[in-house]
Amino acid sequence: MSAIVAVDAMGGDHGPPVTVPACIDFLQASPGARIILVGIPARLEGALAKTPASLRARITVRAASEVVDMDEPPADALRRKKDSSMRVAINLVKEGTAQACVSAGNTGALMAIARFVLKTLPGIDRPAIAAVMPNKLGGYTTVLDLGANVDCTAEHLLQFAVMGSALVSAVDGKEDPTVGLLNIGEEEIKGNEAIKKAGELLRAVGAAGHMNFLGNVEGNDIFKGSIDIVVCDGFVGNVALKTSEGLASLIASFLKEEFKRNALTMLAGAVARPVLNRLAQRMDHRRYSGGALLGLRGLVFKAHGSSDAFAFEQALNRAYDAARHGLLTRVHDRILDTLAALPAAPGQDEPMQPAAAAPTA
């Protein structure tokens, strides 16, 4: 199955010098794909000038007169820039012209615009960013939220767990993926009030057979490979993500410099190079670029703002795979089924109710 991906070509720290080459490389590796580049036409056409005709035929340029700045307040981007490249790209998903959208732009603005344009699913109050981090077993752990929601209630964390379970089930074929709640310890008595209440909700859901909740987990569990999904608020999740990226860069830099120090370490480095190269590849955060904004009525993927062409191409790959494999339908159906089956939370007489519509801009 082929799919069309709408790209916010102006978003991110670099814009067209990164997004356009990434799209070209992506199309070369994905014969059935098509791209809609959204942005300022003159800049996009200039970046496309040397594109082979066979690939250029699979690229459409859609004009947008405005760009959302990386430090722009989300409310301003939503209300004042209705012809931004970000909003036009998301509108293409709403219209059905594209099956997914990818942006490396302002995270807060992307979340605000996507929520307003696409709306959330019934039962979901806030979308969350879900992405993967490598673990020592050679696979990866899905973590959410990674920055979309700084302040979360216990109910929000429960919804994140439901959405994460749906994502892993659909993508990895695990019907009963394991879920852990990120905390400062495994004991139920630890954590702030929101975390403690979230633990109560998740344990109730798990006891009712609607989720494979294993309890509290700590930060190192993300990398052990002992849990499929780790749930946290966006503040903690983003710190964990950036810390892991920084650690990977530190290790790579240290090894590179260490093996330059003398002949003996240079020799050791030459012998160990194949192993070190595999380690560097597994730890390269660019390979895991492309977080899914879960809970929306459309597929939107967020690449790192500082993405280079390789990282942005990985985000395109994730969005394209999600679109052509019907991830939206599979994930959203599971979310709705799970939410409908959830027991009433402690202190409530009724199960969770559908979320209200997003406010107008």
Give dist(CA 165, CA 206) in Å, integer.
12
pLDDT tens digit string along 68-96?
A: 999 999 999 999 999 999 999 999 999 99
Instruction: Determine the 3-state secondary structure of 296 from DSSP.
Output: strand
Four-point Cα dihedral 335, 292, 34, 51, nearest 10: 180
Q: What is the predicted pLDDT for the residue at 202? A: 93
Q: What is the predicted pLDDT for the residue at 135? A: 87
Residue 286: CB atoms within 10 A of its CB come to 19
Q: What is the predicted pLDDT for the residue at 199? A: 95
Instruction: Determine the 3-state secondary structure of 317 from DSSP.
Output: helix
Give dist(CA 89, CA 139) in Å, integer.
32
Q: What is the predicted pLDDT for the residue at 345? A: 46
**β-bridge partners, 1:** none
Cα 87 to chain centroid distance, Å, stands at: 18
Instruction: Look up residue 198 and give its two tokens.
Output: 């979230």
Q: Number of C-alpha atoms within 13 angstroms, CB side, residue 39? A: 27
pTM above 0.85, yes or no: no
Please report the beta strands in 108-202, taking only residues with DSSP state E, as ranges in sequence order.
Answer: 128-134, 140-144, 178-182
Domains of the chain: 1-120+295-309 (3.40.718.10), 125-288+326-356 (3.40.718.10)
**β-bridge partners, 144:** 130, 231
Instruction: Look up residue 71 and give its two tokens.
Output: 């430090």
Q: What is the predicted pLDDT for the residue at 354? A: 41
Find out whether 90 and 118 touch, Cβ atoms under 8 Å. Answer: yes
**β-bridge partners, 229:** 142, 179
**Angle (deg, nearest 10), helices 263-283 and 234-258:** 150
Q: What is the predicted pLDDT for the residue at 153? A: 94
Q: Across the beta sheet with 212-217, what order do the strands follow?
A: 59-63, 34-39, 4-8, 100-103, 300-302, 291-294, 128-134, 140-144, 229-231, 178-182, 212-217
- The contacts of residue 52 (CB under 8 Å, 6+ apart) are none
The residue assigned the tokens 């040397």 is 50
Rg from Cα positions in the chain: 21
Q: Number of C-alpha atoms within 13 angstroms, CB side, residue 107? A: 22
* Full pLDDT tens readout for the chain, 361 residues: 789 999 999 999 999 999 999 999 999 999 989 999 999 999 999 999 999 999 999 999 999 999 999 999 999 999 999 999 999 999 999 999 999 999 999 999 999 999 999 999 877 888 999 988 888 888 889 999 998 888 899 999 999 999 999 888 877 778 899 999 999 998 988 999 999 999 999 998 888 888 999 999 999 999 898 999 999 999 999 888 888 777 666 666 666 665 666 655 655 555 555 655 555 555 556 676 788 999 999 999 999 898 999 999 999 998 998 888 887 887 777 777 766 666 554 444 444 444 333 333 4
Find out whether 22 and 316 touch, Cβ atoms under 8 Å. Answer: yes
Backbone angles phi, psi at 215, to 5 degrees: 110, -165
Q: Number of C-alpha atoms within 13 angstroms, CB side, residue 7? A: 37
Residue 340: CB atoms within 10 A of its CB come to 13
Cα 80 to chain centroid distance, Å, stands at: 26
Check the CA dihedral 5-322-221-218 and report its sign: positive
Q: What is the predicted pLDDT for the residue at 266? A: 58
Q: What is the predicted pLDDT for the residue at 325? A: 80
Q: What is the predicted pLDDT for the residue at 164? A: 92
